[in-house]
């Protein structure tokens, strides 16, 4: 199974009219709300400080951007180098953005909340340690909030009663040293997708040559610490020129895998510079995640 690239790719490019997004736009979250698609994307200008911009679309293909970022560094020394890699989870009637705060002491994972996807307020850090690729599940599991995160090089799971205190941290998915493409590091992509078979955990991995690829595994519906099946292969790797060359070469990196009708829309960045879309029937993704 392979995802099909959209013929209009790349859908979003850097915008030289806005200083803050003049060099790179990448790693977007996408959610559907009030009949529109909202994209929250990471953007960099010539200073390489990351902001989070917002674009709106009626069809998920053609986007109109807001003039200004919706989130910029605001925590002084903790994030003055940027706010990065948003993932957005609809939960409890609101939206939660998990993003990486990059500051004086490296980076750590933050959680913010919004009712309208434009005005964001911080909830707090998941932990003040080198960690990223964190994303909330869209519903409580066993009565508690659940989150995926990444303490290098593994994907971890943790739980919370209040989204502030996180416990029961444990690694659930690791690189496979003998398996070429995902032998070095793994991290979650977008919000896990609930299907009747369990949770689809979309993830990225890179190998010893720093080539980023995308795949998906199946987690148990009630106990997502349990990996039911993990395909040997991947479903997307850098092939197009804009995926092979950019700010960081050989990268397809996704923070959004949403279900639209009977399709999965995987939004992703090519080479940390532009944003594209690839799609696949949900039924094919489930088959891949359960049997290949």
Site for ligand BMA in 214-243 (CB under 6 A): none
Nearer to ligand BMA, 65 or 273 (CB): 273
Kindly state whether residue 253 participates in binding ligand BMA, applying the rule CB under 6 A: yes
Q: Supply the minimum distance, in Å, between the C-beta of residue 116 and ligand BMA.
A: 25
Q: Is 165 helix (H, G, I), strand (E, B) or coil?
A: coil
Kindly state whether residue 102 participates in binding ligand BMA, applying the rule CB under 6 A: no
95 touches 31 (CB < 8 A):
yes
Whole-angstrom Cα distance, residue 201 to residue 198?
Answer: 9
Q: Which residue, 170, 179, 124, is CA-closest to 149?
A: 170
Mark 17-56 with x for binding to ligand BMA (rule: CB under 6 A) and - for no binding: ----------x-----------------------------
170 touches 225 (CB < 8 A):
yes
Kindly state whether residue 251 participates in binding ligand BMA, applying the rule CB under 6 A: yes
Q: Which residue, 70, 143, 71, is CA-closest to 110?
A: 71
Among 86, 272, 278, 288, indicate the residue that binds ligand BMA (CB under 6 A): 272
Quote the DSSP letter at residue 210.
-
Helix segments in the chain, DSSP class H = 241-244, 282-291
Site for ligand BMA in 65-94 (CB under 6 A): 84-85
Nearer to ligand BMA, 216 or 274 (CB): 274
Binding residues (CB under 6 A) for ligand BMA: these are 27, 84-85, 212, 248, 251, 253, 272
């Amino acid at each position: 199974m392979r995802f099909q690239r959209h013929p209009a790719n790349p859908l979003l490019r850097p915008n030289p009219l806005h200083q803050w997004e003049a060099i790179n736009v990448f790693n977007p979250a996408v959610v559907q709300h009030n009949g529109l698609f909202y994209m929250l994307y990471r953007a960099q200008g010539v200073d390489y400080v990351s902001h989070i911009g917002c674009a709106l679309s009626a069809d998920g293909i053609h986007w109109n951007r807001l003039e200004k970022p919706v989130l910029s560094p605001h925590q002084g020394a903790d994030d003055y180098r940027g706010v990065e890699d948003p993932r957005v989870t609809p939960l409890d009637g609101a939206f939660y953005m998990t993003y990486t705060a990059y500051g004086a002491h490296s980076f750590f994972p933050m959680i913010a909340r919004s009712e309208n996807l434009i005005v964001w307020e911080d909830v707090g850090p998941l932990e003040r340690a080198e960690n990223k690729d964190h994303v909330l599940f869209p519903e409580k599991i066993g009565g508690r909030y659940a989150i995926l995160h990444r303490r290098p090089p593994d994907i971890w799971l943790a739980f919370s009663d209040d989204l502030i205190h996180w416990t029961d941290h444990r690694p659930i998915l690791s690189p496979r040293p003998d398996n070429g493409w995902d032998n070095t590091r793994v991290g979650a992509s977008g919000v896990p997708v609930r299907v009747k078979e369990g949770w689809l955990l979309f993830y990225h991995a890179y190998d010893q040559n720093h080539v980023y690829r995308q795949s998906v595994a199946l987690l148990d519906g009630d106990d997502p610490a349990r990996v039911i099946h993990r395909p040997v292969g991947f479903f997307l790797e850098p092939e197009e020129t804009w995926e092979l060359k950019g700010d960081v070469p050989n990268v397809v990196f996704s923070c959004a895998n949403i279900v639209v009708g009977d399709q999965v829309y995987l939004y992703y960045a090519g080479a940390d510079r532009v944003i594209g879309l690839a799609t696949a029937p949900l039924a094919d993704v489930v088959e891949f995640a359960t049997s290949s």
